[in-house]
Amino acid sequence: MNLQKEDAPDRRRYRIALIPGDGIGGEVVPAARQVLESLGLDLTFVELAAGWETFQREGTALPAETLAALERCHGALFGAVSSPSHRVEGYTSPIIALRRHLDLYANLRPVVSAPVPGSQPDVDLLIVRENTECLYVKQEQLEDDGETAVARRVITRRASARIARVAFERARARQAASARPGRSPRVTVVHKANVLPLTDGLFRETALAVAADYPDVAVEEQIVDSMAYRLIREPQRYDVILAPNLYGDILSDAAAALVGGLGLVASANVGDRFVVAEPVHGSAPDIAGQGIANPVATVRAAALLLAALGEPEAAGRIERAVGRVLADGIWTPDLGGTARTGQVTRAIIQALQSS
């Protein structure tokens, strides 16, 4: 995947879109921007609108100007949006729309132990989630009698094969980077083909066929409900977990709970030409506006963005700085600490500058 703009005059100058969205998105994205600004890279930022507040103001949650501006950026950092849980005429989740519009077909979610309370030791896994289809095609309808609602679930061989390739390639790359020393690379294919033999069956069958091209990577399969159970019982045994969209979404929030919570876990929505990085969490309306949101997930998302753009060294520096701050016990309340968003952010910047 080469995400760098071919027409970029200088590959080491990046124009980055910032889409804070709603709720704590407006707190954690500026925090991540400060961290990015402290790196000494040649970055310019373009702030773009999307989300529920944008919808209320402009009648669309993903304005055409946002999409047009993204075309001129190398990548984007997304905060979170507040999507209502009831139908609102004309509203559609902008992050789901962006993933499909930009064909960001791989949602990569690293889940790694952290030196914080509640984190299990020795967890180092990657959830590779298909990001464009399944129930997220959002084709729902209410039947004429108003008593039955139907959703279409789409699984294609093409999308299943390309996400499976990402999973196997990542398993190889993780092995090369010694992510799990002494253990062989492995992909766990998640499905529910025992109940849904056509849709999940196609996902499963396609992933297992792709596995044949990767004899050096072990493959196993796991039905999604027992996957949830085993993930919680024994997260250390997993390496790369490959899942259709909805299962991957649910498993990644559960996995976050194993390593300190949603305040720490980031993701990258990756396609062949673009990347949108974001925290796994949502807009957290219960804590929005209080200055206590944990910025780490979004700072880590910024690191994933830099890595995808071809700046692994800067990404590594951010990760190491975050690790030091967490080890020093500079924690927001979700981790049991008393630090505020700004204090954690400043500590990360200080750790970067002293590295």
Ligand X SMILES: O=C(O)CCCC(=O)C(=O)O
Ligand Y SMILES: NC(=O)C1=CN([C@@H]2O[C@H](COP(=O)(O)OP(=O)(O)OC[C@H]3O[C@@H](n4cnc5c(N)ncnc54)[C@H](O)[C@@H]3O)[C@@H](O)[C@H]2O)C=CC1
Catalytic-residue membership of 200: no
Q: Rounded to 5 degrees, what are φ and ψ at 44?
A: -120, 150
Q: Which of 113, 237, 262, 342 binds ligand Y (CB under 6 A)?
A: 262
Active site residue: 22, 239, 249, 334, which one? Answer: 249
Q: Which is nearer to ligand Y, 94 or 244 (CB)?
A: 94
Beta bridge partners of 151: 140
Beta bridge partners of 110: 126
Distance of closest approach, residue 18 Cβ to ligand Y, in angstroms:
14
Residue nearest to ligand Y (CB): 282
Q: Could you tell which of ligand X, ligand Y, none binds residue 297, using a CB distance below 5 to 8 A set by kind? A: ligand Y
Q: Which is nearer to ligand Y, 84 or 312 (CB)?
A: 84
Q: Could you tell which of ligand Y, ligand X, none binds residue 321, using a CB distance below 5 to 8 A set by kind? A: none
Q: Could you tell which of ligand Y, ligand X, none binds residue 36, using a CB distance below 5 to 8 A set by kind? A: none
By rule CB under 6 A, what string of x and - marks binding of each residue 190-219 to ligand Y? ------------------------------
Distance of closest approach, residue 139 Cβ to ligand Y, in angstroms:
19
Active site residue: 136, 214, 238, 247, which one? Answer: 136
Distance of closest approach, residue 242 Cβ to ligand Y, in angstroms:
20
Strand duo 134-142 + 186-191: pairing = unpaired
Question: Rule CB under 6 A: is residue 81 a binding residue for ligand Y?
Answer: yes
Q: Which is nearer to ligand Y, 66 or 283 (CB)?
A: 283
Burial of 174 (0-12, 13-18, 19+ CB in 10 A): buried
Question: Rule CB under 6 A: is residue 18 a binding residue for ligand Y?
Answer: no
The window from 126-134, 198-206, 287-295, 320-328 that contacts ligand Y (CB under 6 A) reads 287-295
Active site residue: 22, 124, 192, 239, which one? Answer: 192
Q: Rounded to 5 degrees, what are φ and ψ at 51?
A: 120, -170
Distance of closest approach, residue 161 Cβ to ligand Y, in angstroms:
26
Catalytic-residue membership of 249: yes
Question: Which stretches of 266-340 are DSSP H helices?
Answer: 296-309, 312-327
Rounded Cα distance between 302 and 275, Å, is: 11
Contact 76, 94 (CB under 8 A): no
Distance of closest approach, residue 135 Cβ to ligand X, in angstroms:
11
Catalytic-residue membership of 192: yes
Long-range contacts of 157-163 (CB under 8 A, 24+ apart): 157/202, 157/206, 159/105, 159/130, 159/132, 159/133, 160/130, 160/202, 160/203, 160/206, 160/207, 160/244, 161/206, 161/209, 161/210, 162/105, 162/106, 163/105, 163/106, 163/128, 163/129, 163/130, 163/131, 163/242
Catalytic-residue membership of 136: yes
Q: What is the DSSP string of 16-46?
A: EEEEEESTTHHHHHHHHHHHHHTT--EEEEE
The window from 131-139, 144-152, 172-180, 283-291 that contacts ligand Y (CB under 6 A) reads 283-291
Q: In what order do the strands lie in the sheet with 275-279?
A: 42-47, 13-21, 75-80, 275-279, 266-270, 106-112, 124-130, 240-243, 186-191, 218-223
Q: Which is nearer to ligand X, 110 or 282 (CB)?
A: 282
DSSP H or E segment with residue 68:
helix 64-71
Q: Could you tell which of ligand Y, ligand X, none binds residue 249, using a CB distance below 5 to 8 A set by kind? A: ligand X
Q: Binding to ligand Y (CB under 6 A): which residues in 109-168? A: none
Catalytic amino acids? 136, 192, 225, 249, 253
Task: Note the residues at the interface with ligand Y (CB under 6 A).
Answer: 24, 28, 80-83, 95, 262-263, 278, 281-287, 293-294, 297, 332, 334
